[in-house]
Structure formats: C-alpha cells, structure tokens
Amino acid sequence: MNLTLKVWRQKNGEIAGQFVEYKATDISPDMSFLEMLDVVNEELIKKGEDPIAFDHDCREGICGTCGMVINGVAHGPLGATTTCQLHMRTFRDGDYIVIEPWRARPFPIIKDLVVDRSAFDRIIQAGGFISVATGGTPDGNAILVPKPDADRAMDAAACIGCGACVAACKNASAMLFVAAKVSHLNTLPQGLAEKNRRVLSMVKAMDDEGFGNCTVMGSCEAVCPKEISLDFISQMNREHLRALLRSK
C-alpha cells in the first residue's frame, strides 16, 4: 500500500519545527508502524536527507520507549497498544497520516518525534519506591499479601512509563502514570509505612514538573497500552486526601 505522511520535523528544542510531507510506498500490511517509518527513513538516507528521529527499543510493547501521536491519537487509532505494536493493516491504501510527537510542557521536544520524558524519572525519584536497602530483608513468605491485593498492585505496576497518558490528555496531565505507581506501592503491605509521605511527595513532584490537572476525561485510560484504570487515580486522590489530613 502507499501512504502520505505528514510528519513533525524539528531539528532540536531551540528551533521551531514544522510539518513535512513524505510518501511511504510499497508498505506491507504486515509491517509495524515503526517498520513503515524505517522504510521511509531508508529512503531519506539514500536521498541524503536526515532521517526522522523517533524513540524505540524493544519493539514488543513493553519498554515504553516508543510513542507518537498518530492522526490525533497517542499510539494510534487502535487504543490500548503501543506504537511499535500497531500494524499497518490498521490503515488503508492511500491514507493520509499525521504524525506528531508527544506534546506537553514537561516533555520538551529533543528532535522530531523524540521527547524528553525524564520528568517521569524525577517523579519516581521523589518517592516512587520502598525505602529498603539491599540485604537484611525478611523471608519472602514472611510478608503475606492477599491475592486480591497482589493482583491489584500488579494491575497498577504494569505501567510502562510511555507517557501516552500525558500525550492523550487534553490537560497534559500525568495523573494516570503517577497514580499507577502510588497505587502499586500503597496497595502492598510492604509499602504502607511510607504511604503518606510517598503520595504527598510524588504529587508535589508531578506538580512541580508542570503537568496539568485531571478533569476526568478518560482519554489516558483509553490509550494506555497497559489499560491502567482510572480507578487508580481515584485511589491516589483518596490516599492524597488522607495523607493531607494526617500531615502536619
């Protein structure tokens, strides 16, 4: 199949970017979206042009590196998938595809479709962990975790930190990402000792990065490749409220 792409090109964070049109020819429906871009890039290189920069690594939907907004939807029209797992059979011959980077103030553009998501790392650094040092921990079975709690924690922990939630949210809010980590750790008995401090400092870090607020629109949940539920945002709100009331 043959496609027309309109791709955001931006040399670096300082220079303004613009859209450039490219033709993608002879695309097989079995290609992944990234493989389609590989083909376009090979052509660009052969023509002596700078290939389109985009982030990717595992190409199997787990590392969270890839991500672009395709025709207005983070990770593309399917929903609940990563860009690397989106395949060209989702599109039709002759389609016009607009490709943009994640756009959010805390995710500055580095080049073309590559953005800087280190804000997520800083949020985790603020409290997204259990403060245990290596060694001296009790036997794994000494801490019993009821299966429903373990399952719920796992549901939340499945987040791959791709940032699609931010990209999709009209408010560029990082609630779903932060809520997933807060809920993962605050649901488990191991995480209870620090639960109040954790939620307060993670939310503060999130605010300091400049992410938007949640108006409960649900786009984040719909594009999230790991289908992290809005329920966790509710849990974070609850934990935060409680922590706030308890704090001095």
Q: List residues binding ligand FES (CB under 6 A).
A: 56-59, 61-66, 82-84
Residue 228 touches which member of other proteins, ligand HEM, ligand SF4, none, C-beta under 5-8 Å by kind: ligand SF4
The least CB distance from residue 34 to ligand FES, in Å, is: 7
Our finding on whether 110 is near other proteins (CB under 8 A) is yes
Give the nearer residue to ligand F3S in terms of CB position, either 65 or 219: 219
- Tell me, residue by residue from 5 to 44, as one string, x for binding to other proteins by CB under 8 A and - for no binding: -x-x--xx------x--------xxxxx-xx--xx--x-x
Of residues 212 through 241, those in contact with ligand SF4 by CB under 6 A are 224-226, 228
Our finding on whether 193 is near other proteins (CB under 8 A) is no
Concatenated DSSP letters for 100-157? E----TTS-EEETTEE--HHHHHHHHTT-S----SS-PPPGGGS---HHHHHHHHHHH
Q: CB under 6 A: which stretch of 26-34, 143-151, 208-216, 239-247 binds ligand F3S?
A: 208-216
Give the nearer residue to ligand F3S in terms of CB position, either 142 or 216: 216
- Tell me, residue by residue from 108 to 137, as one string, x for binding to ligand F3S by CB under 6 A and - for no binding: ------------------------------
Give the nearer residue to ligand FES in terms of CB position, either 58 or 132: 58
The least CB distance from residue 171 to ligand HEM, in Å, is: 8
Concatenated DSSP letters for the chain? --EEEEEEE-SSSSS--EEEEEEE-S--TTSBHHHHHHHHHHHHHHTT-PPPP---SSSSSSS-----EETTEET-TTSSS-GGG-BGGGS-TT-EEEEE----TTS-EEETTEE--HHHHHHHHTT-S----SS-PPPGGGS---HHHHHHHHHHHT-----HHHHHSTT-B-HHHHHHHHHHHHHSGGGGGGHHHHHHHHHHHHHHHT-B------HHHHH-TT---THHHHHHHHHHHHHHHH--
The least CB distance from residue 1 to ligand HEM, in Å, is: 42
> Under the rule (CB under 6 A), what is the footprint of ligand SF4?
159-165, 176-177, 180, 224-226, 228
